């Protein structure tokens, strides 16, 4: 769980950095740059000599879905939703993680689903606002597509890595995920029409951090951590970034917060962890 907690903290800082420095840049270009930087960081570590072609394709597919398609859907959602609505609609990811895991295993675990629902309830309590966007439903379904892509990638990566020889480490293959994701993001960016960017020094360093750390290192650590915990714990941690993101925004970016909601949502998420602790199924 330590890796998932560290990544949640890294992502908590990303929300404030994006809002503070990148809101005037095209979303498609930002997504492509982030993934391309992540690919550049991890490409030197690729060791594919003993990797079967079918497994290499599975890993590229994982990245294409979990990061590439996820970013495309996420990008389009911003044309229909306000920023807080986008944040709100990410809270359903734990349900998808639990459901996809149980679907692959062809079984149903009520405690895993209960833990996921408690995590969702905590996230909704913390982030709920009055939703009055004219394009609410279009944005909602785009965000659910993004959530499904991210949830699917986490579970599919666990299953794919379980097929590989033990000597094949995550670091030796993870660049393939970023290759698949970058190809999808490049198609999306050029299809929408590429806009040359004129970056300030501040924007350059924010993009470098987001690409190398928040996207590159964080996505890597997240998927590695996802292999070490139960499906229920993984579902819960998908929403932990919400209260952490709010705390970071208050402490470092001087935003205001509804403390009763934050406390109530935190209690629900703690309850989800308690429910999940009683799940006896080992991670797959």
Distance in angstroms (rounded) separating the CA atoms of residues 207 and 189: 16
Write out the DSSP string of 104-122: HHT---HHHHHHHHHHHHH
Total Cβ atoms within 10 A of residue 211: 23
Q: What is the largest CA-CA distance in the chain?
A: 54
Q: Select from 20, 2, 5 the least CA-distant residue to 206.
A: 20
Q: Select from 109, 65, 62, 113 the least CA-distant residue to 236.
A: 113
Half-sphere exposure of 252 (CA within 13 A, CB side): 15
Q: Select from 104, 121, 84 the least CA-distant residue to 155.
A: 104
Write out the DSSP string of 106-164: T---HHHHHHHHHHHHHHHHHH------TTHHHHHHHHHHHHHHHHHHHHHHHHHHHHS
Total Cβ atoms within 10 A of residue 200: 10
8 A C-beta contact, residue 111 and residue 58: no
8 A C-beta contact, residue 97 and residue 231: yes
Q: Select from 118, 126, 115, 116 the least CA-distant residue to 88.
A: 126
At residue 43, the pLDDT reads 95
At residue 190, the pLDDT reads 80
Distance in angstroms (rounded) separating the CA atoms of residues 215 and 7: 10
Per-residue pLDDT of the chain (284 residues; tens, 9 = 90+): 678 888 877 777 776 677 667 767 777 788 889 999 999 999 999 998 889 999 999 999 999 999 999 988 877 776 676 655 566 677 778 778 878 888 888 777 776 667 667 766 776 676 555 555 556 678 778 888 998 999 999 999 999 998 888 788 999 999 999 999 999 999 888 876 566 778 889 899 999 998 999 889 999 999 998 888 877 778 777 767 666 666 666 666 565 666 676 677 667 766 766 665 555 444 44
Task: Look up residue 265 and give its two tokens.
Answer: 């949502």
Residue tagged 């990638």 (tokens):
153
Domain ranges of the chain: 2-277
pTM, 2 dp = 0.79
Cα–chain center distance at 227: 15
At residue 38, the pLDDT reads 95
Helix (H, G, I), strand (E, B) or coil at 175: helix
8 A C-beta contact, residue 101 and residue 231: yes
Residue tagged 């406390």 (tokens):
263
Instruction: Tell me the torsion sign for CA atoms 274, 280, 283, 284.
Output: negative
In total, the chain counts a number of residues equal to: 284
Cα separation values, 106 from 94, 109, 234, Å:
18, 10, 18
At residue 276, the pLDDT reads 58
Helix (H, G, I), strand (E, B) or coil at 99: helix
């Amino acid at each position: 769980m330590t890796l998932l907690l560290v990544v949640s903290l890294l992502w908590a800082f990303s929300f404030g950095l994006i809002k503070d420095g990148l809101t005037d840049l095209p979303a498609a270009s930002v997504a492509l740059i982030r993934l391309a930087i992540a690919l550049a960081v991890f490409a030197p570590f690729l060791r594919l000599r003993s990797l079967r072609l079918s497994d290499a394709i599975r890993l590229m597919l994982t990245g294409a879905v979990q990061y590439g398609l996820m970013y495309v859907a996420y990008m389009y959602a911003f044309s229909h939703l306000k920023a807080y609505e986008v944040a709100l609609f990410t809270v359903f990811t734990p349900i998808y993680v639990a459901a996809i895991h149980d679907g692959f295993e062809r079984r149903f675990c009520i405690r895993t689903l209960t833990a996921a629902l408690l995590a969702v309830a905590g996230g909704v309590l913390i982030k709920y606002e009055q939703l009055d966007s004219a394009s609410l439903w279009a944005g909602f379904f785009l965000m659910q597509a993004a959530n499904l892509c991210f949830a699917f990638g986490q579970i599919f990566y666990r299953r794919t890595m379980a097929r590989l020889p033990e000597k094949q480490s995550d670091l030796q293959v993870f660049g393939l995920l970023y290759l698949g994701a970058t190809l999808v993001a490049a198609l999306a960016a050029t299809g929408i029409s590429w806009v040359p960017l004129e970056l300030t020094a501040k924007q350059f360093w924010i993009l470098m951090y987001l690409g190398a750390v928040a996207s590159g290192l964080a996505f890597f650590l997240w998927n590695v951590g996802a292999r070490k915990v139960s499906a229920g714990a993984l579902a819960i941690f998908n929403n932990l970034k919400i209260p952490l993101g709010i705390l970071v925004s208050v402490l470092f970016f001087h935003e205001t917060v509804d403390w009763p909601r934050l406390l109530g949502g935190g209690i629900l998420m703690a309850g989800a962890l308690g429910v999940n602790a009683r799940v006896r199924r080992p991670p797959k």
